[in-house]
Structure 1
Amino acid sequence: MHSNLVLPLVAGCLVSFTLQAAETAHDFNLPAGAVSTALITIGQVSGKQVLFIPGEVAGLQAPAVKGRLSADEAVRRTLMGTGLSAVVTASGALSVQRTGDGLSLDTITIDAARPGGSDDVGFVAQRSSVGTKTPTALVKIPQSVSVVTREELNARKSDNLSDALKYTPGFSSQPASFSRVADDYTLRGFNVGAGTGGILRDGLKLQSNPYDGSVEAYGLERVEVLKGASSVLYGQLSPGGMINTVSKRPTDTPLHELGLELGNYDRRQYTLDLGGPLDDQGQFSYRLTGLWRDSGTQVDHVDDDRRYIAPAVTWKPNDDTSLTVLASHQDTYTGFSPPMSYGLSSYSNTPGYKIERNQFVGEPGYDHFSNRMDTLGYLFEHRFNDNLAVNHSLRYFQANTNWDYLIPQAVSGSRLLRRYSAREERSTGWTSDNNLNFTIDSGRWQHDLTAGVDYYHKTYDSHRFISQTLAQLAPSLNLANPQHTGVGANTAADSGSDLHSSQAGIYLQDQITFDEKWVLLLGGRQDWVESATTTFATDARATRDDKKATGRVGLVYLADNGLAPYISYSQSFQPASVSNPAFGNAFAPLEGEQYEIGVRYQPPGSDTLLSAAVYQLDQENSLSLDSLTNTYVQYGKTRSKGLELEAKSNLTENLQLSAGYAYTDTHVLEDQAASNVGKRIEGVPYNTASLWASYRLASVGLDQLRVGAGARYTGTTRTTPSAYDGKIPAYTLVDALVSYDVDSHWQLQAKAQNLFNKKYLYCNTTCRYGDERSVLGSVTYRW
């Protein structure tokens, strides 16, 4: 259809109905019947504008649509099997078009994906920007990407970022006792936590060190995981990959939500999520997300308190330009879970007293972790024409952390020897990304070119007073009869340092599509890194300047039956964080490279995405501790080989599923100590598996009731305990959730994590006890 005929058709032939927010769910009970009748009813129930040409839907039949759904989900289910689909117009309406016919409403239809470039449907993400920096269908990305949608976050009621990702294959984290204070995670056997730069927010680096505070999951729209070497687009990263957290953004239509949670350990949490337009013209919209939590934990004298507020405003003067300003403020008050050796845990068979599960081995009034984290930034987008667009983003980050705790050292008789650790830290970060996106369509060939420059400057000022000698130890604790009598004076010297680091990079990427079947991805990058570290104890200054080129190449084939096999090679680099006193400067960057072969399968017309990948991932220049000199040397190589399987599916109107399996074989190939060669990397299991299912009981007439359950299996891991074979036992944890929609406004939920209260131990060099069962109930009001 020619564009000059579109407006008359729109004006004269379209039936429209006013609508509310796509994000808002409504109760639908539509019997099977005419598509036109169903579309009209969806518009009336939801208040959302639904546009269609009567002639295109004449005679078409729709299946029954029942349940609590968003308007776009209800329309999608109505159109299943009809050859029609719905897109979002510039005004926010749903426009029904024939699938594959991009001309019928071409002049008024825009690409209105949700935040992060997604078209999430239930648990299934359709697209992501994390793998290419442009909104790209997942089946076109030649690298493993896992996405946790907002609906999946809600279905599992994820309390923190670690919870959000625990059903993602290849991912592992420490227990919540540690995750409360730090985003410290592992992908494919390599650490990708905040200390590596592997936690991003809206595509930009976030924290500057491991203990800048953890990301608040309630403030997120989705979480995207890019696995494997990925420095081409993001600069310095661990070879394991990165995790991009996408902020909740302003909405064009009203959104209002208030929540209350109550749980064991005296947990009380209050939440709010508000959004909508600020003016009648629709140029300005806002979002305000907040959380207040007061809670105890399974350990006495350790709280889990948080205050979080995140305002956002979007200015959209026209369809081609938008500016979104995002800010956040977060206060965390909790306790740091001190590391202990395996020999001090109750799992050890060595004689003597042990630290029992839930035992507080610090001192009340001394042990604490308090953190304040603030961010302010913006995202700017402008499209000059159909082929050229510019994207510019910038953010400032700062964190102030004060944390004192006593470290379990050893047991003498019944006395637990403890070391002081007192730390005052301040971090800042400036980060910016600027790129141009240019598309070329030359018949059978299409090019999607992205060229950009980014910059990241961070500071990390850390004053640390940690006991190093017997004379500096804190008062001991009698494990036979624990009595907390105070801490005394910490006489340890300052062993901290002050780091200033900057990274600048330029990158170029071309996504080349041939005959709409083959997609070749080529990318290259050049980075320049400068760092200077001053050690407070000696005023010694270590500096290093590095430059590094990285690349990526991948090929995807898009078959008509929904299969998308791919092959790729990618590189990474990561500056080492340990100074070398023997040479007075820092180590050379750690370098990674990955070979990956995979396949995705998205059956046509279904809401299912299946993924499988095998990979080999190597890291060069690994650091190794020289036992003779007790200093680090740069002589090492580690390798991770594995298989990952993942399934996300909306199997039926009422059943949603997320499943994953990972086999991870991570070993030391080269090391200063010959005895370490061939050993497994500590804390990385060979096998992990997970399954979560969420089911609405519509088949028995209980449309308002949804039940969910999941299981997470973690295989054996290796650590370095004394007088032990080095294996930590496997364990399986079960989670469950029940949700009841009282009406279109009120929702009740009950959730249990580790439902059967499984006892387990997590070890990665040092050990921590796993989380016990937690139970909470919540009530949510939406209007």
Structure 2
Amino acid sequence: MQKNYRSYFITIIAIFMSMMSFAQNKSGTITGTVRTSDGISADAVEISIKGIANTTVDRKGNYTLKNVPAGQYTVTARLIGLKPTSSDVNVIAGSTVMVDLTLEASNQQLQEVEISHGKKNKYFARESDFVSKMPLKNLENPQVYSVITKELLADQVVTNFDDALKNAPGLDKLWSASGRAGDGAGYFTLRGFAVQPKLVNGLPGLTNGSLDVSNVERIEVLKGPSGTLFGSSLVSYGGLINTVTKQPFDQTAVETNYTAGSYGLNRVTVDLNTPLDAEHKVLFRLNAAYHDENSFQDAGFRKSRFFAPSLSYQLNDRVSFLFNAQFLSSEGTNPTQLFFNRSLPLKSTNLAALGYNNRRSYTTNELSIKNPVTTLQAQMNYKISDQWRSQTIVSRGTAKSDGYYSYLFEGEATVPGPGDTRVGVSGNGIFDRWITDQNSTTETTDIQQNFVGDFNIGGIRNRIVAGLDYYNSTSINNSSNYAHVGSVNPLVDAAENLSKQRIDTAIAAAGYGGSTRTTQEVYSAYVSDVINITPAFSAMASLRADRFQNGGLSTPQASKFGQTAFSPKFGLVYQVIKDQLSVFGNYMNGFTNVAPVNQQINGANVITIFDPEHANQTEGGIKADLFDGKLSGSLSYYDIKVSNIVLITGPNTSSQGGEQYSKGFEAQITANPVDGLNIIAGYTKNKSKLTNADPSTEGRRPLGAGPEDLANLWIGYKIATGSVKGLGFGFGGNYSGKNMIVNDATVGVFTLPSYTILNAAASYGTGQFTFGLKVDNLTDKEYYKGWSTLEPMRPRTFAGSVTFRF
């Protein structure tokens, strides 16, 4: 197998090198810089050659138009609120021509224009460097994804990551971040499968606790199994969540914000950006946040300190470096969650029968857990030629869990059995409290080498990424065993002694399980090519070879294993109206490595090796970017089938052959119908069921699938002229259909009812100041989330903010 593995890598690299050698320069390239009249680099400016090409300048004001056929053209720079600026250019095949443009406005005037008019369709992003690991416009990409912009988060006065994700169609929370070892980040459902936010700038980013939104440029939610480009360790079959952080830009700017609100919310953020040298080759940016907040319940809190420096260095016109770091120190109580017993019939099947008071936490502020998280990223970009560039990336992450983690688990009702034993017959409606003293560390290392090309072969444009990836995850756990510390009856609202002394005594009696150290390594190679068969018709073909190794000092020999998986991806896009309307279809693959199982066969212990589990998706739909970008969105239908699921078929026996189906419809739009009015909306419907499964779950909706129907809406309007110029309003919310958090023929069904949550905001910007007010859960709706668990959500809350820019 190892020999075959090496041959796969050699084949992929040989194909890649052959494509480089055959690349032909049948067209030319235009590059340049856009500056204001006082020489400052301009941002968010659109560059275009009518009917030929278009792009947007980066934060340094630079742009590149590739594969422009030879000839005479006019390059135009446009920014809403300003007169367009144009320049004529002669493009020669195989060459690069420089065209610098100057806007007829100073930097101060440009800021006034941006404040007055705002970014056109500011809730939408037309292009991403991360979704396909290469620059690709949304209309050219056969994969569906949603983008949550920083402008939307600012309009909504968002102060936590979970609230930010409410703007992604089809994404719904299963449970909040717990901070516990191994999987402390929050869980969400997407296209019928559980997913966590595990990527930062397209790379592994540990989030053991929760991310801070102060350093978020945008959040990208990719839909469908994305194993081809991102592997199996970071994604789910429903998709992935990638957080793009703020990067340095060529300008001096400082923004400070103070937000205060309900339940002791106190939050201060700072965003500082500045060049560090006279030539503006070294740029520095710092984002920092101070956050304190209490729970709406009788106990509970969260406090965090966040520090995120970023540095870019342009060595010369070919070589540049980028360094990103995030340091998060947080402490708090883990959220109250009631875990239902999934092996015995439920005593309560609805909220009324359970009798839970959502204002009770059943904890104390002494039961807190610390979650320091560090993420480091270093990147070198080297321009090999006008057609090729190299990208070398190293990422390092560390997440710790230090303190008390507790949960409530429904106990058993028992009856006398043979020999005066007790036999469990159902859940008893009383929840036992289990507490552990967490002491664990997870460390990740990721090294990537990517080659990104944009060239013609025989007159056909190819955009390609080919790369090698090494990923290592090591977990060191010295946590205690779980200790039983009392019980909770939701029908009896009684106080309980939860002193730290009592808890420590119980944990000491439970003891410690000893130190464990486990390691997972993944070696991967991938290639993806977008081929423009015609200017309007393109095809994507991608393949990943992935070698997974499971081991570690404390991993039993029977559990050490290696697996090789191949993950293909194909897509077609036809632009019915160039740069405005496209139809697309895709086939995507995701996979999960399955550990061997020690089971009994014919009375003997046998180690059974299983194949990797695979998910295959087919999808089709349309994407639009109409009316000069004022209306954008997508409609799609997908069908996902998961095969090779390992099923427990009896005591100490398992077999492979289970299946899960997930089908659905998704619609999302962002609109800017008139200046100052921005709308984002989405609706998704998902049908999901298990087949060839255990008899108790056969044909039923999986617990991680979440609600069948989800909808989101936000409407923001800012007045651009007149005596109340700068006054803005926002309104929207989320709808969630009923959710079966327990769904089992033997255990029973516990269903959370559907609900609608409404939110509103108002703001006023004048000069360097912006004032904001936000009300979440306007109607003070009582609602819950769950995943075989029950977790109460926040009631009505208020927040006010003041922002100062200088």
Who is 2:665 aligned against? Answer: 643
Contact 1:124/1:650 (<8 A) preserved: no
Q: Report the TM-score, using the length of structure 1 for normalisation.
A: 0.81
For residues 149-548 of structure 1, what are the structure 2 equivalents within 5 Å?
A: 149-174=149-174, 182-193=185-196, 199-207=198-206, 212-236=208-232, 237-341=235-339, 347-350=350-353, 354-365=355-366, 367-410=367-410, 417-442=432-457, 444-467=459-482, 473-476=484-487, 479-486=492-499, 487=503, 488-490=505-507, 491-494=509-512, 497-532=516-551, 542-548=559-565
Q: Distance in 2 between matches of 1:631 and 1:771?
A: 43
Who is 2:639 aligned against? Answer: 616
TM-superposed deviation, 1:423: 2.2
Q: 1:636 to 1:530 in 2, by over 3 A?
A: same
Q: Distance in 1 between matches of 2:792 and 2:592?
A: 30
Q: Distance in 2 between matches of 1:334 and 1:18?
A: 49
Match of 2:699 among 650, 671, 678: 678
Q: Distance in 2 between matches of 1:23 and 1:225?
A: 25
Q: Distance in 2 between matches of 1:630 and 1:361?
A: 36
Who is 1:141 aligned against? Answer: 141
For residues 636-715 of structure 1, what are the structure 2 equivalents within 5 Å?
A: 636-671=658-693, 673-683=694-704, 684-698=706-720, 701-715=723-737
Give the paired residue count: 695
Q: 1:261 to 1:185 in 2, by over 3 A?
A: same
TM-superposed deviation, 1:176: 5.1
Contact 2:547/2:564 (<8 A) preserved: yes
Q: 1:429 to 1:579 in 2, by over 3 A?
A: farther
2:390 match: secondary structure: strand
Who is 2:80 aligned against? Answer: 76
Contact 2:334/2:406 (<8 A) preserved: no
Q: Distance in 2 between matches of 1:631 and 1:754?
A: 48
Higher mean C-alpha deviation, range 511-520 or range 633-642: 633-642
Residue 452 of structure 2 aligns with an amino acid whose one-letter code is N
Higher mean C-alpha deviation, range 631-640 or range 762-771: 631-640
Q: Distance in 2 between matches of 1:264 and 1:15?
A: 44
TM-superposed deviation, 1:344: 8.6
Contact 1:144/1:227 (<8 A) preserved: yes
Q: Distance in 2 between matches of 1:223 and 1:120?
A: 19
Contact 1:670/1:677 (<8 A) preserved: yes
Q: Distance in 1 between matches of 2:89 and 2:790?
A: 54
Contact 1:576/1:587 (<8 A) preserved: yes
1:300 match: secondary structure: coil
Contact 1:124/1:608 (<8 A) preserved: no
Residue 359 of structure 1 aligns with an amino acid whose one-letter code is R
Q: Which has the higher contact order (CA 8 A, sep 6+)?
A: 2
For residues 574-653 of structure 1, what are the structure 2 equivalents within 5 Å?
A: 574-576=592-594, 588-626=611-649, 628-629=650-651, 634-653=656-675
Match of 1:17 among 33, 37, 48: 37
Q: Report the TM-score, using the length of structure 2 for normalisation.
A: 0.79
TM-superposed deviation, 1:607: 2.9
Measured against aligned partners, the alpha-carbon deviations of 1:417-444 in whole angstroms (never above 9, x if no partner) come to 3223332210000002111122222574
Q: Distance in 2 between matches of 1:326 and 1:140?
A: 29
Contact 2:173/2:785 (<8 A) preserved: no
TM-superposed deviation, 1:403: 3.5
TM-superposed deviation, 1:466: 4.2
Residue 76 of structure 1 aligns with an amino acid whose one-letter code is I
* Percent identity between the two aligned chains: 23
Who is 1:115 aligned against? Answer: none
Q: 1:410 to 1:145 in 2, by over 3 A?
A: closer
2:778 match: secondary structure: coil
Q: 1:336 to 1:635 in 2, by over 3 A?
A: farther
TM-superposed deviation, 1:274: 0.3
Q: 1:736 to 1:270 in 2, by over 3 A?
A: same
Residue 266 of structure 2 aligns with an amino acid whose one-letter code is R
2:122 match: secondary structure: coil
TM-superposed deviation, 1:203: 1.2
Who is 2:108 aligned against? Answer: none
Contact 2:717/2:730 (<8 A) preserved: yes
Q: Distance in 2 between matches of 1:593 and 1:532?
A: 28
TM-superposed deviation, 1:130: 2.7
Q: Distance in 2 between matches of 1:556 and 1:777?
A: 45
Contact 2:175/2:188 (<8 A) preserved: no
Q: Distance in 2 between matches of 1:594 and 1:150?
A: 31
TM-superposed deviation, 1:623: 4.1
What runs of 5+ residues in structure 1 fail to find an aligned partner?
Answer: 26-46, 51-55, 61-71, 85-94, 111-118
Q: Distance in 1 between matches of 2:298 and 2:648?
A: 36
Measured against aligned partners, the alpha-carbon deviations of 1:390-441 in whole angstroms (never above 9, x if no partner) come to 1111111111112423332347999753223332210000002111122222
Q: 1:265 to 1:420 in 2, by over 3 A?
A: same
Q: 1:617 to 1:377 in 2, by over 3 A?
A: same
Who is 1:69 aligned against? Answer: none
Q: Distance in 2 between matches of 1:578 and 1:216?
A: 38
Q: 1:481 to 1:239 in 2, by over 3 A?
A: closer
1:157 match: secondary structure: coil
Residue 527 of structure 1 aligns with an amino acid whose one-letter code is D
TM-superposed deviation, 1:99: 12
Residue 296 of structure 1 aligns with an amino acid whose one-letter code is N
Residue 767 of structure 1 aligns with an amino acid whose one-letter code is L
- Determine if the alignment matches structure 1 residue 739 to structure 2 residue 771: no
Who is 1:65 aligned against? Answer: none
Q: Distance in 2 between matches of 1:329 and 1:579?
A: 39
Contact 2:267/2:290 (<8 A) preserved: yes
Contact 1:449/1:510 (<8 A) preserved: yes
Measured against aligned partners, the alpha-carbon deviations of 1:138-173 in whole angstroms (never above 9, x if no partner) come to 000001111112212222232233222212112111
TM-superposed deviation, 1:501: 0.5
1:569 match: secondary structure: strand
